[in-house]
Structure formats: C-alpha cells, structure tokens
C-alpha cells in the first residue's frame, strides 16, 4: 500500500512539474516586444506591445509607435499556446477618447495575425505583427 501511495504521489508531483514547465514554455512563445500593424478604414496604425511573464502570469503594455499614447497597461491577458488575447484601454483617433479594444492574435513562429475590435463602436480591423525582441 505504501509503495502504491509513493508511486501515485510521485506521478502527481511529476505531472504538476510538467504542467508548470509547459505553461512557461507556451508563454515564452509570446513574451517580448511585438511590432503590430493595424489596417482600419483605409488607414494604417502601428503599435508596440511588450509582454512579460511573472510566476506564470502574463502582463504587458501597448504603445502607439508615433507617440499618441505610451505604455498603456493590458488587462485580461491570456495565451493558450496558440491564441493570445487581451484588452487594451487606450486613447483612440480621431478625438483621443479612451476606448477598450479587444486584441486577438494567433501566434506563429515570431509572427502574429488576428484582429483588434471594439464592440461599442462596432469596429473590427485586421492586425498583423512580428516579434522584434525576446
């Protein structure tokens, strides 16, 4: 009975360790600096997104590359190994009113493709990007 308990406990500890490793490995795929390009209503907009991981939890900021806004915190950051999603509350053109934008990106090898959207104003735009720094 003791042997079975020890083996069961060992398997549980090993599985927990593998789960933690795989989460860290998955997050490593998105951690870093990303240059993002948005195409909306005939115009291009450029963002820089910085993602960090602390104790398995992702956090980050987003900045508009020409300086319209800088280091706005991201919330609800989630990554499932393929899809990154987060919420960015940032000043938005043309009037600078702060709006919450949902970002959803499929992450590949150093590239991303997806969309940015705001349900309140009914706008969705395509977004692409590439990781410039790990």
pTM value is 0.79
Residues 74-106 have pLDDT tens digits of: 999 999 999 999 999 999 877 889 999 999 999
At the topology level, CATH places domain 2-133 in Lipocalin (2.40.128)
Which of the 8 DSSP states describes residue 120?
A: T
On the question of pLDDT at 126 being above 70, the answer is yes
Residue with tokens 């042997």: 3
Structure confidence at residue 1 (pLDDT): 41
Tokens of 51: 């993602």
Please state the rounded mean pLDDT for residues 101-114.
Answer: 97
Structure confidence at residue 25 (pLDDT): 66
Residue with tokens 């998105």: 30
Q: Is residue 131 within 8 Å of 109, Cβ to Cβ?
A: no
Residues 56-71 have pLDDT tens digits of: 999 999 999 999 999 9
d(CA 51, CA 9): 35
């Amino acid at each position: 009975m003791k042997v079975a308990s020890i083996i069961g406990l060992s398997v549980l500890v090993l599985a927990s360790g593998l789960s933690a490793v795989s989460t860290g490995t998955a997050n490593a795929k998105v951690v870093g600096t990303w240059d993002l390009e948005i195409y909306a209503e005939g115009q291009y907009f450029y963002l820089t997104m910085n993602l960090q991981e602390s104790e398995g939890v992702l956090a980050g900021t987003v900045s508009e590359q020409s300086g319209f806004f800088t280091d706005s915190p991201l919330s609800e950051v989630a990554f499932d190994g393929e899809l990154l999603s987060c919420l960015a509350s940032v000043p938005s053109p043309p009037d600078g009113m702060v709006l919450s934008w949902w970002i959803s990106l499929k992450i590949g090898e150093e590239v991303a493709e997806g969309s940015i959207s705001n349900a309140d104003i009914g706008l969705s735009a395509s977004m692409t990007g590439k990781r410039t720094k790990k």
